[in-house]
Amino acid sequence: MPSPTTERARPAVVVTLPTYNEAGNILPLTAELLALGPGFEVIVIDDDSPDGTWKLVAEAARTEPRLHLIHRTSDRGRGRSGRDGFVHALELGAAVVIEMDADFSHQPRYIPQMIRVLNGSQPEVGLVLGSRAAAGGKDADRGLVRRWITKLANAYIRLFLGVRVRDCNSGFRAWKRATLEQIRVAETFSPGPAIVQELLFKTARAEIRIAEVPIEFQNRLHGESTLTLRLLLQGYVAVLRLRVMAWTGRL
């Protein structure tokens, strides 16, 4: 039986960061996140990035017990990595789980407000989105084409999934533990970026309240985008598939 002094405290907040080639961003970002408070822990889920992102994290984690690395070497994907991160965050005992991109598009400074809304709202909220589309939010940094891609995708998702939130594509989110358990996050099936819409849809269908906190979205600080036309089209198909699954009772 471990003594109370050696027993590991459950983290209040675990931040999950899926990474692929984020060597330029990852250490400054994890440092900022850990500085948010002693109750914060960070999990980096890296798909064996060729730029060695995982090596940097492995090295830093040797002296920082609040930093964790999942180094994946097969079955690569934003969705698979996201799922593994959520599962591990729950295993660590997190009360709140944050998911965000690891490229500084999502700024750590918004997290305290997202958690305040998550924990302090009446009626109770189970998910908070960092939202570009909420009043006061911004997507100004991006080019016109990228902003229109986002707008069209939002309209399409609202139409097909009937999700009544403003920023359906936000991958910057604060989750209550109970929400992730209720939507059975371990059974998430989207291999790629459509994990964002899959979990949003499952949450809305479970009639869990979703709030949006305005954020200013910024372009990635270092590194290159993983968005391709192929991924974009796959995203549209994935949303349609979610709708069909729901209609046929398979969701």
Ligand X SMILES: Nc1nc2c(ncn2[C@@H]2O[C@H](COP(=O)(O)OP(=O)(O)OP(=O)(O)O)[C@@H](O)[C@H]2O)c(=O)[nH]1
**Which residues are at the interface with ligand X (CB under 6 A)?**
18-20, 22, 45-47, 76-78, 81, 101-103, 105, 220, 225-227
Strands 40-46 and 127-131: unpaired
Partner from Mg ion, ligand X, none binding residue 77, C-beta < 5-8 Å depending on class: ligand X
Q: Which is nearer to ligand X, 109 or 116 (CB)?
A: 109
Expressed in percent and rounded to 5, the helix, strand and coil fractions of the chain are 40, 15, 45
Per-residue x/- marks for Mg ion, 128-157, CB under 5 A?
------------------------------
Check binding of 101 to Mg ion (CB under 5 A). Answer: yes
Asked if residues 85 and 98 have their Cβ atoms less than 8 Å apart, the reply is no
Q: Which is nearer to ligand X, 93 or 191 (CB)?
A: 191
Check binding of 22 to Mg ion (CB under 5 A). Answer: no
Q: How far is the CB of 17 from ligand X (least distance, A)?
A: 6
Q: Which is nearer to ligand X, 24 or 93 (CB)?
A: 24
Query: Footprint of Mg ion on residues 187-246 (CB under 5 A)?
Result: 220
Q: In 10 A of CB 225, how many CB atoms? A: 10
Nearest to 170 by CA among 207, 223, 209, 210: 210
Partner from ligand X, Mg ion, none binding residue 85, C-beta < 5-8 Å depending on class: none
Q: Which is nearer to ligand X, 43 or 118 (CB)?
A: 43
Structure tokens, 248: 């046929």
Q: How far is the CB of 40 from ligand X (least distance, A)?
A: 18
Partner from ligand X, Mg ion, none binding residue 226, C-beta < 5-8 Å depending on class: ligand X
User: Candidates 5-13, 31-39, 100-108, 126-134 — which segment interacts with Mg ion by CB under 5 A?
Assistant: 100-108
Q: What is the DSSP letter of 62?
A: T
Cα–Cα distance for residue pair 251/187, rounded to 1 Å: 11
Angle at the Cα of 71 from the Cα atoms of 6 and 86, rounded to 5 degrees: 70
Cα–Cα distances (Å) from 162 to 89, 104, 201, 239, in that order, read 29, 30, 8, 11
Angle at the Cα of 174 from the Cα atoms of 35 and 59, rounded to 5 degrees: 40
Where on the chain is the footprint of Mg ion (CB under 5 A)? 101, 103, 105, 220
